[in-house]
Amino acid sequence: MTVGAIFTFRIRPEDDAAMEQIMRDIFDAMAAEEFPTGQVDTYTAYRDPADPGRWYMFEQFSDKGAAVHAKGPLVYPAGQRLAAMCIEPYQRTVLSPVLTSGCGEPIGAIRDQFEPKGSA
């Protein structure tokens, strides 16, 4: 079974650059610990340009991947750094997909897969 999640949090807008580095650290840790397992289908991070300081993540795992997510020795501390920067409680909503398109293939441990789109 597939498990989807939407994770949203707010930081101080002036901490945006620091959060971007934390997100890169999380993705690097995921590439080492979780992506190679084939249990992660979608893992994305977005900031909302209309709401400075608001970030969103969209995640999709197998049941097994969801059960072990963010518990490893690399991902867990990076996630704790993210949580420490939140200025209000984060929200994580776990969902059951009904229809999906463009996701569902396990992510490999290839760094190019999570470079920002449209960056110079």
Which of residues 105 and 88 earns the better pLDDT score? 88
Is 0.85 topped by the overall pTM? no
Average pLDDT, stretch 36-45? 90
Cβ neighbours of 63 (radius 10 Å) = 10
Give the list of residues 6+ apart from residue 57 with CB closer than 8 angstroms, or none.
Answer: 5, 6, 7, 8, 43, 44, 45, 46
Domain that holds residue 47: 2-95
36 within a domain of the structure (yes/no): yes
17 within 8 A of 75, measured Cβ to Cβ: no
Number of domains, the chain: 1
Kindly state whether residue 64 falls inside one of the protein's structural domains: yes
Question: Is residue 104 over pLDDT 80?
Answer: no
Q: Which pLDDT score is estimated for 118?
A: 47
State the helix-helix crossing angle for 16-33 and 75-85, rounded to 10 degrees: 160
| Alpha helices (runs of H) in 51-114, residue ranges in sequence order | 63-68, 75-85
